[in-house]
Every structure is written in structure tokens, then in C-alpha cells.
Amino acid sequence: MPFVATSIDLPPHTAEVRAADLDGDGRKELIFVSSEPKGRQPDAVTLTLVSLTAEGQPTKRETLRLGQRATLWDAHNGLWGVDGDGAYNLRTAARLGARRTALGGLGLTTPLAADLASDIDGDGVAEIVVVGGGKVELFSADGRSRGAVPVRSEGSLKANARGGGLQVAAAAAWPGMTFGDWDGDGIDELLLPDGDTLEVVRFGPAGATATKVKQPMDVEPRRDPAADPKAGRRDIENVWLKDVNNDGKVDLVVHQWVIGSTFFGATAELITARGNGTGFDKPTTIATSAAAVDVQLRDIDNDGDLDILASQVDLSISNIGRALVSRKVQVDLCAYIWGSGGYASQAKVIRRTGFSISEPERLKLKVEADLNGDGWIDLVTNDGGDQLVAFAGGPAGISEAPLATWPGALPLGPDPLFIEELTGDARAEVLLWGPKATKATLLRLR
């Protein structure tokens, strides 16, 4: 089952690739984010939207210039922006509602993508979060306000000498936020995590109401400033508020590093606390035998819940010593499968690979989507070499034999593999791209 390639022209200064179904036709559009250098000024951002046919051929192109205006943007059932005056439709410029934000006080600024839009009730109409005036408010894409609640934001001021004069920098930090179905009623709430507290904001016919819930652990700060370096520490790397056990309610998953007096020998802990609709159950902890990097939540066994995937690397002094001799570091792609009541305490190694000690950034390893349409998530990797290989997922795990291969080194860049279902046939495509390339290659299984 070979790959079939299609070439797609990249806009100048492409810095990021995203995808979303912007017009409701069942096929996602590619969103190329260009960041054009402006000398000493902030970069200017342009969004290029590319539609694809069912065969993966590029057709319609649309360009939206965000420029240097202080703007947060998101793509979800449309394309939305939040600036100093509130939320608006990026494609039509129609305002959704008035709510002044701290973005209005900024000068020239590089626009930024942010997760601010969601369809909380599944009616096909997006809702967009706006923070301003001491409140967080939700606006529907049709301009209706769904309600607002008080919220605490933080500011910072810095002053320093620059070029013989005083330079003052002012910044405003919005609270952390995400969407999720807290109580299992099929309607998402706005979740505002803050240390050991989670504020759950519900939006109903009468407006917004908020409830505070105690989290089982303090997830801020990520690194404990009071930790004794000689005694070791625990640094939080990732926090998820997602329904992992498929019961319709949000759960808490935390990935944290466990570091001794030195980084050698570092391992990790994977902590899970199930949500019950009113709070969290007692957390359980998995202690990994090696450092866990690139931790993800994926349904690897195709049973509807989310398993934990982690690339594990032995950072012991003895193993690092062997790596210095062999010039290669072994990486185990491990799965912690969700079973009855929680995650398996023992990892299942689903792929063993490695990278050259002189070029660790060359290894690319992604388990994100179904390439062949059989319902199982597949693995795409270059094993640190000059050939892209796809391996099929299935009931027995990741296959040993390749599903498909593509010759040649990946483009240079931090994330040259973009994997997404783009043509509406329930099979994901692989986009190979680089920030300095003029063309991208779209790979589809024949």
C-alpha cells in the first residue's frame, strides 16, 4: 500500500501548519501560518487557507492578513479573533459582542493562535471566550452573549535601560482555561484551573454560573521554588483536563518529572484523578522506570478511552556512558493502557527505536491518526534516519511490517510531520513541510 504524493505550494515565511473545517463541508482546510520578519518590529502574521479535493489536490486559496495587530485567533467551526475590542469573525470582520480586553493597550504585536473557541453544546455554532474588565465572557458566533463571571487576571511591569533611555514593558496574563464536560450532561463547561482549585463555569439559559472544586494536587507552579536541589524535586511537565475513561466526565492527568540531585537518572510520574461530576476521586500514580518525554493521550487500543503514550529514555549514568560509546540513544515508545479502574502500572513497549547522540532532533515519532481507515491509530516515524515509515495499528499493537514507506530525509524544522484527516474519507494524510521550504508534500495511502 504505497504513499501517493501531492505537492502544495507553501506561502513565504510559513512558521506553522494547522487544519480545521472552516466551511462545514466535512473536509478540513489547511491553515498555513506565515510569520514575516519586520526588522526590529514584531513579526507580521498572515493566514493562508487552502482547500483540498477528495483526492488531496489543492484548489481554493484564501489569504487573511492579521499583520501586527494584537490579536488572538482560533479555528473552530469558523475562524475567530479576539483583539482589544473583543471577539470577531476573521473572515467577515463582523463583531460578536463588545468586551474591552487588555490587548487594546498593546502596540505593534505579533498575533498568536490560542484555544479560545469551542462548540460547547454541539449545535454547530462556535462559542468564543473573551477576557476583559475583570470578567470572562462567552460569545456565540451569532453574536449572543452566553454569560459572564468574574475572573482574576494578573499583570506585570518591567523597567530597564535600553539605548540610553528607560524602557517599560507591561503585560497582562489571562487565567488558564479549557473546555470540557464536567458533569456528563453532554454540554461542555469552561474550566479555569488555578493551582489546587478548578473553577467550573456553566452556561445556561439564564447566563453563567461558577462553582469552585478542589483539585487533588497543586498544578502550579510547574517547578516548586521551595524545593531543596540536593534532595531532588518534582517538576510538572503537562496537565490535562480531559475525559480519559470515556464516562462523559472530565478527569485530571498530570505528567511530572522526578529529578534527584542531578538530572542523571531522572524518571517520571503519571498521576490520574477521575472526575465524578462533583469533584475528583483519589489520585493514583504510576512511577516510570525511565524518563518519559513527549507524553500524549491517545486511544491506542481502539476501545473508546484514552491511553497514555510516552517515549521513554534511560537517563542513568551507565546508559548515557554506553550511548557515548555507541553514539546512539535507545528510545522506547510505551503505552499505559486504560483498563478496569485505571491505567496499567506496567508499560507496554509498542516500538523500540533511537536517535544519534549527535543529532537527537532528527528522530520524529508520531502516533496521532488512522492512515488506512481501519479505525486503529497508526505510527509514523523516520527512526532517526532518511526514510519515513508508517506502521499499522491493530488489536495486537503496532505492526512489525511497514504499512508504507517514503524515501528521503524529512524537511528541516522542529515539527515537519503534520498528520490530519483532510479529505473527508476517514483516512489521515501526512504533510511533510519545513519553515524554509517553498513546497510541502502531502502523502496519502493509495
Of the candidates 102, 105, 81, the residue with the CA atom closest to the CA atom of residue 91: 81
Q: Which amino acid is at 109?
A: T
Task: Give the pLDDT confidence score for residue 226 in this predicted structure.
Answer: 66
Instruction: Find all residues with CB under 8 Å of 22, minimum gap 6, and list them.
Output: 28, 29, 49, 75, 77, 78, 79, 91
Half-sphere exposure of 314 (CA within 13 A, CB side): 15
Q: What are phi and psi of 322, to 5 degrees?
A: -65, -35
With H, G, I as helix, E, B as strand and everything else as coil, classify residue 24: coil
Q: Residue 369: pLDDT above 90? A: yes
Q: How far apart are CA 274 and CA 287, in angstroms?
A: 18
Whether the bond between 58 and the residue before it is cis, its omega within 30 degrees of 0, is no
- Chain mean pLDDT for the chain: 94
Q: Which long-range contacts (CB under 8 A, 24 or more apart) does 341-350 make?
A: 342/272, 342/274, 342/284, 343/270, 343/272, 343/284, 343/286, 343/307, 343/308, 345/286, 347/288, 347/289, 347/310, 347/312, 348/397, 350/300, 350/379, 350/397, 350/398
| pLDDT grade for 320, boundaries at 50, 70 and 90 | confident
Task: Give the pLDDT confidence score for residue 271 in this predicted structure.
Answer: 98
| pLDDT grade for 317, boundaries at 50, 70 and 90 | confident
Helix (H), strand (E) counts: the chain:
1, 34
With H, G, I as helix, E, B as strand and everything else as coil, classify residue 321: helix
With H, G, I as helix, E, B as strand and everything else as coil, classify residue 325: helix
| pLDDT grade for 281, boundaries at 50, 70 and 90 | very high
Task: Give the pLDDT confidence score for residue 358 in this predicted structure.
Answer: 85
Task: Give the pLDDT confidence score for residue 262 in this predicted structure.
Answer: 82
Higher pLDDT, 230 or 382: 382
Half-sphere exposure of 392 (CA within 13 A, CB side): 15
- Match 530597564 to its residue by C-alpha cell: 160
Contact between 306 and 320 under an 8 Å Cβ cutoff? The reply is no
Task: Give the pLDDT confidence score for residue 25 in this predicted structure.
Answer: 85
Give tens-digit pLDDT for 193-251.
999 999 999 999 999 999 999 999 999 887 776 677 777 889 999 999 999 999 999 99
Least confident range from 189-193, 195-199, 413-417: namely 413-417
Q: How far apart are CA 80 and CA 72, in angstroms?
A: 8
Least confident range from 68-82, 143-157, 161-175, 221-235: namely 221-235
Burial (Cβ within 10 Å: 0-12, 13-18, ≥19) of residue 300: buried
Task: Give the pLDDT confidence score for residue 446 in this predicted structure.
Answer: 83
Give tens-digit pLDDT for 15-70.
999 999 998 888 999 999 999 999 999 999 999 999 999 999 999 999 999 999 99
Instruction: Find all residues with CB under 8 Å of 352, minimum gap 6, and list them.
Output: 330, 331, 332, 333
